Structure 1
Amino acid sequence: MSEVCVKVALRVRPLLPLEVLQNHKVCVRIVPDSTQVMVGSDRLFSFDHAFGPTATQDEVYNSCVQPLVETLLRGDNATVFCFGQTGSGKTYTFGGGNLGEKGGIIDRVAENVFSLLGEKKNSDGVETTVRVTYLELYMEELQDLLESHNTDKELFISKNDKGNTVVVGAKEIVVTSAEELLSIVEVGNVLRHINITGMNEHSSRSHTILTLQVVKGFPNSNPSLKSSCSSKLCLVDLAGSERARKGNKGSQHKESAHINRGLLALGNVIRVLADRARNNCNSTHIPYRDSKITRLLQDSLGGTAHTLMVACVSPSHHSVDETVGVLQRAAKARRIRNCPTATSTHTEAD
Structure 2
Amino acid sequence: MDTVFAETVKKVIAHYPLETTHISLLSYKGKKAVWSILTSQGEFILKKVPFAEDHIQFMTHAIDYLKAHGVRTPGVMKATSGEAYVKSDDEFFVLFECVHGRSPEYEIEEELVQILQGMAAFHRASKGIESPTGYFPSFLLEEWREDYQRRAALILKWKTARTGAADLKAFDKLFLQHADHFLQQCQQALDVLNHSDFDRWAAETRTTKTLCHQDYAAGNLAIGDDGHLYVYDMDSLTVDLPVRDLRKILNKVMKKEAQWNLPQMMTMIKAYQSVNPLTAEQYRVLAADILFPHLFLGQASKYYEHREEKWPIQKHVSRLQEMIDTELSKEAVLQEFLARLDEVV
TM norm structure 1: 0.30
User: Which structure is larger by alpha-carbon Rg, 1 or 2?
Assistant: 2
More helix by percentage: 2
